Structure 1
Amino acid sequence: MKRFIGVLALALVAALALTACGNDAGNGSSSSSSEFNDADVTFAQSMIPHHEQAVEMAKMAASHASTAEVKDLAAKIEAAQGPEIKTMSVWLKAWGKDVPSGGSMGGMNHGSDGMPGMMTNADMMSLDSSDGAAFDRMFLTMMIEHHEGAVEMAKTEQADGKNPDAIALAKKIEADQTAEIAVMKDLLKS
């Protein structure tokens, strides 16, 4: 009888250990590798180059913008979207999917894949060649359109995605960028 109870206890410990290992994938950041679908992959693979373009535009503001408000907003955009790019890249690697390779000005074929809100190469060159108040107006107008595209993509992920972390990021992107759109519209009025 003692031997039977010992074997039973050992089996119980083994079963609990296996259950604990199985549950780790569903918690926190580990869930990025657990469950995902095509919508999650499309979201990450599309949002990375979309964010990269926004960061590229935001970097221009440091030397081209005329107002502290535009420079501060651009710095905030860059600070938020840089880490999000890294997060989505980690997810794609964990999912065994391709991570889009972006680049600096001219390295990306802007707007070629029909993503909402993406600027063309000509738009980007025009923005880079402007400065002062003209840059501020162009930057705000283009970034509003760019953010509206990101919000549209984030809503699609929330409706169609499966991965909890990707859906949570989509909600954050929608909230953050909707708030920034309101700020940019106010700046355009002033």
Structure 2
Amino acid sequence: MLHYCLAHIAYHFSRQLPKRNRAKFQILLVLLVTIFLSPQLFVLVRPRSSRYCDQPLLHNLTTFIIFTFLMTGFTFLLTLMDPMPCELKAAFHTFGVGSFLQGVLTTAFTIAAPQCVNTTPELYYLSLVLSVLSMLATVFIVPLIPFWLLNNFYPGMLLNPGSRAGICHRPVADCSCLWYV
């Protein structure tokens, strides 16, 4: 859920900026993605990472890197497109489910691989950090799911910007809703 959460946060930060300043935000995103991707690629190319480990941590890291590239694409699309097509929303939320499953697998593989700290320490510790970050992102996103569902099935009940009504209108009068994508 880490990738989905990061793209979701970037989307909401970009919506707080005027359209003419979003190019600067895109440059900042490139720097942040580079910082996020660098340790993953560093551990992937280390010769010690290819040593034997009972759990498929190296394959999981490769999948995590693929999800990072997908997150980068979604982040740029979400921050650039102002009226967002329904297809992009559906693809992004499907990506969120895949990101959740990736976080669960990363956590499960890391918990089951304490012996890998002796053979592949960098890979194990990176998997441990990514597992903790995935769990924290899940804790952040899961409470928003009921709001997304209510907003989908009963539009305007939570927030109706046109009529300035809804349960959540007062708390979010000056900022966008976290559950809205």
Range of TM-score over shorter length: 0.3 to 0.5
The TM-score normalised by the length of structure 2 is: 0.41
